[in-house]
Amino acid sequence: MKRILITGANGQLGTSLKKITPQYEQFNYTYLDVTDLDLTNTTLVQQYFENTAFDYVINCAAYTAVDQAEKQPDLAFSVNAAIPSLLGEICLKSSMRLLHLSTDYVYSGMNAVPHLEEEDPVALSVYAQSKLKGEMALWNNRQAMVIRTSWLYSEFGNNFLRSMLRLSKERDELGVVYDQTGTPTYAGHLAATLLNIIVHSEIHEFNPGIYNFSNEGVCSWYDFAVEIMQLARRNCTVKPIRTSEYPLPAKRPAYSVMDKTKIKNTFGLNILHWKQGLVAALKSLENNDEI
């Protein structure tokens, strides 16, 4: 039975993976979070892998506080750059296969055309720079895939969906930016995609490289918020505002829609629309009496 290690297991993607792994019972899973192993400690990590072998590593460990990263660049780089670099070296040496998660923030967002994997990256913030450096360490690694995703949310952890639901209970009106365009990605659908990629790799071959993945469709943060309010039946008005009206420390790409042709063709994926992901997330929250 092939063994899969999932790092960052208590984050929203790691938790989403734990939720669906029973559907992929052909694999054996190990879950690690920072309380189990500090992945920034090179010595401890090397000792861990000397004593434990896996076939695949899904690296969900990440520093995702985009604005806080402007004040904590060393921490952002130690997690987002040093960890994938170290895991990449270990996987290459031990013939393990690595699936590493990255971000749409490595794209400039300057042109309103879906971004392709081969574009020259333009990192606009410390967070984006740290994620890009982590990617670069894996670009020529024959044992590694980099999966870029966007606007990740779920029923778990802190994210846009849960923030909107919480704020809609506290306020009658919310201002949300309408001049940033992208695609919300439900972590449950990304989790299934990662495991389906492993299934495909076992049947066919492992295809290293960079891949874009998000749900289908395009919207602004404003559109996303409006849909949340409607589906959750909240009496909260969403007001469209410009990014300049809601200044934040870290600069965001204005347009981060990604072309997903490569990942669909390589792995035979059928990708669902972002609204289907939102329905699934809200249903899960409702089943857990969190709405």
Tell me which residues are annotated as active site: 127
**Rounded (5°) CA angle 232-155-238:** 40
Residue positions counted in the chain: 291
Report d(CA 246, CA 65) in Å as an integer: 17
Report d(CA 274, CA 223) in Å as an integer: 11
Contact status, residue 208 vs residue 141, Cβ threshold 8 Å = yes
Q: What's the burial of 288, exposed, middle or buried (CB within 10 Å: 0-12/13-18/19+)? A: exposed
Dig out the tokens for 65 from the structure: 């506080």
What's the half-sphere exposure (Cβ side, CA atoms, 13 Å) at 190?
34
Contact status, residue 103 vs residue 152, Cβ threshold 8 Å = no
Report d(CA 215, CA 185) in Å as an integer: 5
The sign of the CA dihedral 140, 142, 143, 146 is positive
Backbone angles phi, psi at 87, to 5 degrees: -60, -40
Contact status, residue 255 vs residue 108, Cβ threshold 8 Å = no
E strand or H helix at 181: strand 181-182
Report d(CA 244, CA 206) in Å as an integer: 44
How crowded is residue 112: how many other Cβ atoms within 10 Å of its Cβ? 10
